Structure 1
Amino acid sequence: MSRDRYVDFLRAWAILLVVLGHWLITGLIRHPDGEITAPELLATVPWTQWLTLGFQIMPLFFLAGGHAAGGSWARARAAGGSAAGWVGQRAVRLLLPTAVYSGLVLLAVGVCSALGVDRATLALVGWAMAMQFWFLPVYLLLSALTPVLYSLHERWGVRIPVGMGVVGLGVGALVAAGDASSRGSAVEAIGALNYLLVWGVVYQLGFCWRDGLLGGDGGTAPRAHGRAVAMAVGGVSGFALLVGPGPFPVSLILVSGEELSNTDPPSAAMLAWSLGQVGVALLVAPVVRRVLERARVRRAVRVLGAGSMALYLWHMLPVLIVAAAFYLTGLAPEPRYGSAGWWALRVPWLLVLGSFLVGVVWALRPLERALVSVDVRVRPGARIRGAAAWRIWAGLGVSVWALTYFAGHGFAYGGEFPVWPAVGLGVGTLCVAFPRRGDRSEGSDGGDNGGGTEDRGSGRARRAGRARRGRGALEEAA
């Protein structure tokens, strides 16, 4: 199967918009006493909630992830690979760079705490450096469930995401009906299922897309093109009804003070918008694929994909650098928050942050190369079973718990060092990477290269392929 450049484009585009979206809504204010705060733009300037319709692009990442994972698992299974081996190989690509990033941030938290940095400042910075983590535990769980989900897909096809969506709507209705007091207990726990159900619908649609059941880009199943049109029209229309006469807010990012949220947990409105986004992505696929035939465009997508993990993990560090360089020193111009002048300064703000991020990614190149080398050496065997397999599952579970904590509380909740989550992420990563002593990777994971194959005619080509996969950890683990 030839490499699907459009899948690579969707993943790269999703990461780019996540970074730009986070930067755009992050605004800093320096007070007369020198304190720097970051007011919540979506709550302070309510009309900006409409901007989230363009920047909440993660449904496309889950769609592309399902497309790639379905092909990868099918090839690994055909080659005799085990579920634990396949899941472990994919998980370690995310966990290694995430654990290193978390370790460095936690080291900084510990040092700052020892130096007496204000606890409120420490908590704010710790939250900013972990705000992107919500995606990781959800994606790791969907990856772990892929062997089961793909088997269900092979038997029932499109009916599986439809069924998951119906259950998700039921869970969402229960959360929406619960009052503020009940959401703190059982209703909130049940609502957490929608992280897997809603995002799982899009992930499962990736399987369907790969097998030609959705259309919009040459799908072969009857009425496939009609399904893409129905998702686009129905999803956008459903979203409009749910946020207009319906009870849901327009923002697709959590806003403080709102009674209902579209993301915590994912709501019916988020599901509708995701379906609409999937439908549009399938319908524009032929046009985008023609653009991707240009060598420069392909090269840009390849470069962005190769650095996707570093971009995703480190993109809030430039905000801290700029805050120290321009706001602590009083050099940054500060028009009224949310005014026309403030918005005009968003352009140089984004350019400055982009320049700093390029420098950060360049400085991280030696670390990235080291992680590539470690990944190749510690990746679990493709056919691993028995007690070693159970250690992979246990390590994955502990890692998901730790990442969930960081996503919800940050790296310094209340200004305190998070001892147990830090230990959990470290131990969990080690269990996944080293499920048994002397374990070595037994072959590839079925050519997990976005659905593609590389030239494997020589040992040099194979080593180059491994290096490319290591550099694009987030892209390939999708």
Structure 2
Amino acid sequence: MASLSSIRTTRTRRAARPAPAPRAAPDAERVDNAPGHRTPPHPPTRGPGRNHYADLLRVCAIAAVVVGHWLLTDITYHHGHLGGRNSVEYVGWGRWVTLALQVLPVFFTVGGYVNAVSWTSHHARGTPWHAWVGARAMALLWPVVVYVVVAALGVTVALVAGAPARELDRAGWFVALHLWFLPVYLALILLTPLLLAAHRRWGLAVPAVMAALAGAVDLARVGGDVPVVGAANYLLVWGAIHQWGFSWLDRRLTRPRWLPAALAGVSAVLLTLLLWPGPFPVDMIGAGLRVNNTAPPSIALLAFAATQVGLLLTAEPRMAPRLERPARLRRLARLNGAVLTVYLWHMVPVILIALTLYPTGVAPQPDIGSGPWVALRVAWVAVLAIVLAPLALGVMWAERPLRKLPLGAGVAGRWAPVPLVAGIGATAAGLAKIAVDGFAPGGRIAVLGLALVAVGVSLTFLAGPRRGPEGGSGGGG
């Protein structure tokens, strides 16, 4: 989970026998459950290659991120000015809470699993890699486009209305900081065909090498005081975690059955050694620290993620059978279809409630960390959830027409991947800039970030052979 301040502080084979490929799923039982993919009204409760436990983990991970952000956000109103603080920086025991709130490794592991299932299925049907990547990326980007456009319009209206620059800057940053994971995830979608081929050749050696390289980067970054190299760990750490999803799919990570528990135990020991003598802090969101674990991600975060994922895979044999009831699967499918929308929009209620309740004095402001403050966190989360639920439903309804748009402009030939790669690169760069600077840096519209996103999404949408919204030429995603 990204913290409320960690991003801003970053300004300154042995040959193994190939695993059997999953059966290609028929169109009625699609396994293309990328974040943001909308599940049909009556989704299949069973399907080749579908792992409902993975769906459950993704839903729970996003729910934990949302609640975590809400708990850590402490809104203030003094002398006519709204502000916000990250409560972890003011509550002594708060940094230990991040061990329960940092769950994005689960999301990336599930992402690796479902990306491998989807690419394997479409590759078996003859889909070119760039067609799959384009459709997969757009399934992720459609909800993002809606969110970015609405946020940009909101900033424009606030500017015209004469909103104070400092408060507009802060509000624009609050509703942008959680976009940080999208550039990383887009890069992993782009690299999935290559990374999956590497996995089939070298297996768990691939994430092991990534982990070793991440450790070397941290040695240079922290021990050698060369912070510029830290950016490599965004791909190495999150890429290794994404790679675990491939090993989950072909059972290299779960057979024999004791292996996940062993992974969790060894990783927990390594994590303790990294945190106790140092130099890494226990805080797994990296708020306001010189050395942090998320911006850029550290080897300590990777050890923490291995512990977390090992425990969850250990629990799979007991938990998965409990999901196999039609009513539960229908509820899970509906929740799974809403995860990206909920994630994107969950900070908007914070701004709406702050503007409504704090200046009017309706919302109390007890001392941060006090008993009343802790008790009010429950009411705070409940009110935000009540506001978010209809907001998310309305947004999902508004997004439906976008899903019907055919992708691609008929680009073919060996140069077909070029506009796609350029588009994903520009989109990732634009989203990264917005995540760091916000939608209104210095009280002004984020022109460069928004322009990069507009150009990048347009190129991604138009690149490749023309196909239907579900990948009519085999590029669904």
TM-score interval, smaller chain: 0.7 to 0.9
Q: What is the SS of the residue equivalent to 1:193?
A: helix
For the structure 1 residues 150 and 436, does the alpha-carbon distance in structure 2 shift closer, same or farther, using more than 3 Å as the test?
A: closer
Query: Aligned-pair distance for 1:28?
Result: 1.2
Matched, 1:282 2:313: yes
Q: What is the SS of the residue equivalent to 1:225?
A: coil
Query: Aligned-pair distance for 1:275?
Result: 0.7
For the structure 1 residues 281 and 385, does the alpha-carbon distance in structure 2 shift closer, same or farther, using more than 3 Å as the test?
A: farther
Paired residue for 1:7?
54
Paired residue for 1:19?
66
Do the aligned partners of 1:12 and 1:305 also contact (CA within 8 Å) in 2? yes
Q: What is the SS of the residue equivalent to 2:404?
A: helix
1:35 to 81, 88, 93: 81
Which sections of structure 2, spanning at least 5 residues, go unmatched?
1-47
Matched, 1:443 2:472: yes
Cα displacement string for residues 206-261 of structure 1 (whole angstroms, at most 9, x for unaligned residues) = 1111011011xxx3xxxx334312210011221122111121111111211x1201
Cα displacement string for residues 164-207 of structure 1 (whole angstroms, at most 9, x for unaligned residues) = 1111111111111144xxxxxxx333211101101111111111
Q: What is the SS of the residue equivalent to 1:213?
A: coil
In structure 2, what residue type is equivalent to 1:409? D
Which sections of structure 1, spanning at least 5 residues, go unmatched?
180-186, 449-478
In structure 1, what residue type is equivalent to 2:381? L
Matched, 1:225 2:257: yes
In structure 2, what residue type is equivalent to 1:244? W
Do the aligned partners of 2:271 and 2:304 also contact (CA within 8 Å) in 1? yes
Do the aligned partners of 1:73 and 1:446 also contact (CA within 8 Å) in 2? no
Paired residue for 1:93?
139
Do the aligned partners of 2:207 and 2:244 also contact (CA within 8 Å) in 1? yes
Provide the rounded CA distance (Å) in 2 between the counterparts of 1:79 and 1:436. Answer: 17
In structure 2, what residue type is equivalent to 1:362? L
Query: Aligned-pair distance for 1:437?
Result: 8.9
Tell me the number of residue pairs that the alignment of Structure 1 and Structure 2 aligns: 429
Paired residue for 1:475?
none
Paired residue for 1:189?
228
2:365 to 330, 334, 341: 334
Provide the rounded CA distance (Å) in 2 between the counterparts of 1:391 and 1:212. Answer: 36
Report matched runs for 1:356-435 at 5 Å. 356-374=387-405, 377-378=406-407, 385-435=413-463
Report matched runs for 1:206-285 at 5 Å. 206-215=245-254, 219=255, 224-256=256-288, 258-285=289-316
Do the aligned partners of 2:135 and 2:476 also contact (CA within 8 Å) in 1? no
| TM-score normalized with structure 1 length | 0.86
In structure 1, what residue type is equivalent to 2:272? A
In structure 2, what residue type is equivalent to 1:344? A
For the structure 1 residues 314 and 174, does the alpha-carbon distance in structure 2 shift closer, same or farther, using more than 3 Å as the test?
A: same
Provide the rounded CA distance (Å) in 2 between the counterparts of 1:251 and 1:319. Answer: 23
Do the aligned partners of 2:169 and 2:438 also contact (CA within 8 Å) in 1? yes
1:164 to 187, 192, 210: 210
Matched, 1:77 2:105: no
Do the aligned partners of 2:173 and 2:439 also contact (CA within 8 Å) in 1? yes
For the structure 1 residues 271 and 437, does the alpha-carbon distance in structure 2 shift closer, same or farther, using more than 3 Å as the test?
A: closer
Matched, 1:56 2:110: no
Do the aligned partners of 1:391 and 1:431 also contact (CA within 8 Å) in 2? yes
Do the aligned partners of 2:81 and 2:167 also contact (CA within 8 Å) in 1? no
Provide the rounded CA distance (Å) in 2 between the counterparts of 1:414 and 1:436. Answer: 38
Provide the rounded CA distance (Å) in 1 between the counterparts of 2:393 and 2:247. Answer: 38
Provide the rounded CA distance (Å) in 2 between the counterparts of 1:437 and 1:226. Answer: 46
Do the aligned partners of 2:218 and 2:298 also contact (CA within 8 Å) in 1? yes
In structure 2, what residue type is equivalent to 1:412? A
Query: Aligned-pair distance for 1:2?
Result: 4.3
Matched, 1:313 2:344: yes
Report matched runs for 1:138-177 at 5 Å. 138-177=184-223
In structure 1, what residue type is equivalent to 2:165? R
For the structure 1 residues 380 and 136, does the alpha-carbon distance in structure 2 shift closer, same or farther, using more than 3 Å as the test?
A: farther
Cα displacement string for residues 405-436 of structure 1 (whole angstroms, at most 9, x for unaligned residues) = 11111111222211121111011101111126
Provide the rounded CA distance (Å) in 1 between the counterparts of 2:415 and 2:170. Answer: 41
In structure 2, what residue type is equivalent to 1:212? R
In structure 2, what residue type is equivalent to 1:338? G
RMSD: 1.9
In structure 1, what residue type is equivalent to 2:261? V
Q: What is the SS of the residue equivalent to 1:38?
A: strand
2:331 to 295, 300, 310: 300
Matched, 1:122 2:132: no
